[in-house]
A and B are shown apart, each in its own frame.
Chain A
């Protein structure tokens, strides 16, 4: 067995983010290993501060990385609906994924902001016309 140097503190890494930790991550959360799918879906994010347009950068079953014009405070509760198109999904109608979650990371870039969100609840809903 290779020598052990030091144990590594495996604090939670929000899975919706690029591979970096952030101080706002909750160390009590277990390590998330959900796979991130690179999906760009336009959504309207509803928060206590109002509604904002956003686009998903990547989506996993436990979190989403959004790109939006302005950031949101870490800890903000938000809700959004992602529409998975029938043309790609192969279902009779679009499927709406209604989500509720919290902001766990927010970063500012030249083109706007990225926010990392954990999905606390979701419901899949068929939108057969």
Chain B
């Protein structure tokens, strides 16, 4: 067995909460192990010192909870979605040195189930692990306010008529096609490019407007009369691309 990923206890009990510890500092890993060792319903199945070690650990050892040091994730935007993808059944707890609103909101948005301080007390950490293993989300009062405020701001920015980002002619053309029910392949043909390019544009459009899918995009366009606004400008490319194309298949009810 590699020294990088340490399996700690044999897989004997199936009812205990299986935990993977990911922390760059050995003293934290040792400390947490000692804390969990005296609990008969929590079992540390592996430890990892780096993010890549953690990926390896997730592959080898099924886990219910992953306690990961925030610093291990720093600078790696896709780390959490990556972890969630690699271990969809494992719930993430991130330990941070200090909390800030943007970071906390983003962590919860990306799928983390708990954000705790590095200085959390042992009892509270154990309670946190048990609650999260039971299916709950661990979130303190301040973070609840941040998350709700972020949700309100997002809703406000999507429904507010004032804040609308600038869209390029190509983006507007693609939005028109999407709201008409065209598939990516059809749009690519219409626009004269590849499907991958259309997907890239879509991702950018979704990010710009803060929408998450085609229906939300259509609703956004209707609510803000987005395409109408741009059509009022002379020689918009949208008018030039309104050639009739076959629509999408009907939904079978």
| A residues adjacent to B (C-beta < 8 A) | 1-5, 7-10, 27, 33-39, 46, 59-61, 79, 84-85, 88-92, 95, 97-100, 119, 121-126, 128
Contacts and interface: CB of A to CB of B under 8 A. Distances in A.
Interface stretch (B8-16, B17-25, B34-42, B221-229): B221-229
A37 B179 CA distance: 16
B223 A125 contact: no
Contacts of B114: 7
B87 to A, nearest CB: 16
B66 to A, nearest CB: 17
Contacts of A3: 140
A36 B159 CA distance: 8
Contacts of A33: 151, 154
Q: Is the interface of B mostly helix, strand, loop or mixed?
A: helix
A35 B164 CA distance: 16
Given A34-B216, A84-B218, A91-B179, A124 B136 contact: no
A125 B247 contact: yes
Contacts of B128: 4, 7
Given A1-B117, A2-B141, A79-B253, A8 B155 contact: no
A89 B221 contact: yes
B159 A7 contact: no
Given A10-B136, A88-B225, A124-B181, A95 B251 contact: no
A2 B248 contact: no
A27 to B, nearest CB: 8
Interface of B: 98-99, 114, 116-117, 119, 124, 127-128, 131-132, 135-142, 144, 151, 154-155, 158-159, 176, 178-182, 211-216, 218-223, 225-231, 238, 242, 244, 247-251, 253
Contacts of B98: 1
18 contacts: A1-B140, A8-B139, A8-B144, A33-B154, A34-B216, A35-B154, A35-B216, A37-B158, A37-B220, A61-B219, A89-B218, A89-B221, A89-B228, A90-B228, A97-B215, A119-B215, A122-B251, A126-B181
Contact of A61 (B116, B139, B216, B250): B216
Most buried by A among B128, B178, B227: B227
A3 to B, nearest CB: 7
Contact of B131 (A5, A7, A46, A119): A7
Contacts of B250: 98, 123, 125
Given A1-B140, A7-B139, A124 B214 contact: yes
A60 B160 CA distance: 15
A19 B29 CA distance: 41
Contacts of B178: 124
Contacts of A85: 222
A90 B140 contact: no
Nearest to A96: B181
Given A124-B178, A124-B248, 15 more contacts: A1-B98, A2-B142, A4-B124, A7-B138, A8-B137, A9-B136, A37-B219, A46-B253, A60-B219, A61-B211, A61-B216, A84-B218, A89-B225, A95-B218, A124-B214
Contacts of B218: 84, 89, 95, 97, 124
A27 B137 CA distance: 12
A1 B99 contact: yes
